Amino acid sequence: MYDLCIVGAGMIGSAAARHASITSGLNTCLIGPSEPKKRSSEEKREIYGSYYDEGRITRCQDKDIVWSHLAQESIKRYRDLEKQSGINFYHEVGNLMIGGEDYLKKTNEVALRNGIRMQNLDNELLNQRFPYLRFRDDTIGSIEMKKAGYINPRRIVEAQKAMAAKQGCTIFDDVVNDVSRIVQSDGSYAMLVKTEGGRSILSKKVLLATGAFTTFRNLLPGFQPDQILSPLVVSLLEVEKTNVKTLRDMPCVIYYGRSNDIWDLPPSHANEDDISFYLLPPIKYPDDRYYIKLGFLGACAAQMRSLADVKLWFEKGDSVWAEHVTKFTASLFKGVKFNSWHADSCVITETPTARPYIDMVHAQLGVAIGGNGYAAKSSDEIGRLAASMVTDNWDSELPREIFKLNHLSHSNKSTFTSLLGKL
């Protein structure tokens, strides 16, 4: 019997496995499917991950002090994880927050409170430093160069799993279908985990790090977390190789602000005043080409309500929306040539608190779910907190209550708001 079984081998689950397996004498296992060679509706596969990519923005700057703290704690361990595993995944190219005055005021307040080093840029400085980007005349920015940039999600998962295995964690490439609590012959309780591959695993405790797929198998019988599954439209534009050097100093970009008349906005946002998107610099992908990636928040308003919905989105996405987002991405640049493009898709698990759920369902079952689109950069700390929680050793200055798991039937926002005063 295992002491702890972690279900879900993505960014959070693999991090939890590494941190849990550090504990001497704690017998752990990690269960989750590896990345498929291709995503096709012809495949029988139903479970996917949102980490199948080469770039995710990492930064300490944030308008939310909790997410800022989670990111800071994760980032400070990146280099050690690279060194210990021998796998490089962290690229410190900086991150530029741009937009309106109200948004930048919030991020600057959090930066000051959390001791984050950054530089404020007015519109003139923005245009001088980044002449290849098209800004509104009233756009201002704040750039964080130290400890910001992007991580390779595939490789950080690889690094986490490599270290977990080195520390004695057993890793199963499988899909869990059923998690239940059983009574053993001696009257004690245990968790029974059954997999698609026919395994039956007994464990004293189980931690679910199953992302958007948490409710589509019998993992939380009788319990429905309060969350929304939202599709994210992502476009990758191939940068003409002669232009890669032009963009060599480009940081990651996050924008919250008013639209620009010269941008080619998707039809759904053509008349909207406020838009938001994230943008990554040219990154070399496995096909040996350099791509700029943009995620347009809110481009597709549909919600995922079933396993069939999520499976179809991961496999096919929405080509019409992707084309709109691609045109928009190209319109952000001047003097930059793009060749081919392709779309990608992932699903964001949104919670009413806008924070992850790191909580115990009962004494032997915990969850670490609800990334809200921000979890990649903070996955190491979320996994660490989840591991400390499920082993009865919460280890953070953040109160556990702010990560409380809410039922679908209600969400106690007044309690959540009062907790912010503790931070």
List all residues 6 or more positions away from 289 whose beta carbon is below 8 Å from its beta carbon: 238, 339, 340
Q: Is the pTM here over 0.75, yes or no?
A: yes
Sign of the CA dihedral with 285 first, then 290, 296, and 300 last: negative
Tell me, which fold does domain 95-144+228-350 have in CATH?
Answer: D-Amino Acid Oxidase; Chain A, domain 2 (3.30.9)
Architecture in CATH for domain 2-52+154-224+353-422: 3-Layer(bba) Sandwich (3.50)
User: Which pLDDT belongs to residue 43?
Assistant: 66
User: Which pLDDT belongs to residue 40?
Assistant: 62
User: Which pLDDT belongs to residue 411?
Assistant: 41
User: Which pLDDT belongs to residue 346?
Assistant: 85
Q: What is the pLDDT of residues 338-394, one digit of tens each?
A: 999 998 888 999 999 999 999 999 999 999 999 999 999 999 999 999 999 999 999
User: Which pLDDT belongs to residue 367?
Assistant: 98
In tens digits, what is the pLDDT along the chain, a chain of 423 residues? 999 999 999 999 999 999 999 998 999 999 999 998 877 655 678 889 889 999 999 999 999 999 999 999 999 999 999 999 999 999 999 999 998 888 899 999 999 999 999 999 999 999 999 999 999 888 999 999 999 999 999 999 999 999 999 999 999 999 999 999 999 999 999 999 999 999 999 999 999 999 999 999 999 988 999 999 998 889 999 999 889 999 999 999 999 988 888 899 887 776 677 889 999 999 999 999 999 999 987 656 567 889 999 998 888 888 888 899 999 999 999 999 999 999 888 899 999 999 999 999 999 999 999 999 999 999 999 999 999 999 999 999 999 999 999 988 644 443 333 333 334
User: Which pLDDT belongs to residue 41?
Assistant: 58
The 3-state DSSP class for residue 370 equals coil
User: Which pLDDT belongs to residue 11?
Assistant: 98
Residues 159, 84: Cα–Cα separation, whole Å: 9
User: Which pLDDT belongs to residue 410?
Assistant: 42
- Name the strand (E) or helix (H) holding 170: strand 170-172
- Name the strand (E) or helix (H) holding 11: helix 11-21
User: Which pLDDT belongs to residue 417?
Assistant: 37
Q: Where are the domains of the chain?
A: 2-52+154-224+353-422, 95-144+228-350
Three-class secondary structure assignment of 237-300: EEECHHHHCCCCCCCEEEEEEECCCCCCCCHHHCCCCEEEEEEEEEEECCCCCEEEEEEECCCC
Q: Provide the residue count of the chain.
A: 423
> Are 2-52+154-224+353-422 and 95-144+228-350 equal in CATH topology?
no
